[in-house]
Amino acid sequence: MKGFFIKIIKIYQHCISPLFPAACRYYPSCSEYALIQFKHNFCLKAFFLTILRILRCNQLFKGGIDYPIIYKDFSAVKFSFKNRNLKFLFWFVPYKNGKYYVIKLYKKEN
């Protein structure tokens, strides 16, 4: 189910979104926010938080920077510095009580 929503969001980002001007009041955009939510949260929670975000994306709200917040348990993760070719895709910035802001790293295009 999670994969289905991720594919739908990617289709929207690549096929439908370029047809309209960039008008999202938040950073990251609502579709990118939804993609991050579905990658890092349970399906129902991601769906609920995405709907709330889309409802806030209008002229009645200020907008601005609004990174997704997820719960992540890093106690079982072990880090190794042997593989120097490792590429980081996300930064997890501590928020509170095991919750983290998810900040996606974008490739710089030249």
pLDDT in tens, 29-74: 999 999 999 988 889 999 999 999 999 988 888 888 888 888 776 6
The larger pLDDT score, comparing residue 87 to residue 65, is at 65
Domain locations in the chain as residue ranges: 1-104
Contact 69, 45 (CB under 8 A): no
Mean pLDDT of the chain: 83
Contact 61, 25 (CB under 8 A): yes
User: In 10 A of CB 29, how many CB atoms?
Assistant: 17
Q: Using CB atoms within 10 Å of the CB of residue 104, give its burial: 0 to 12 exposed, 13 to 18 middle, 19+ buried.
A: middle
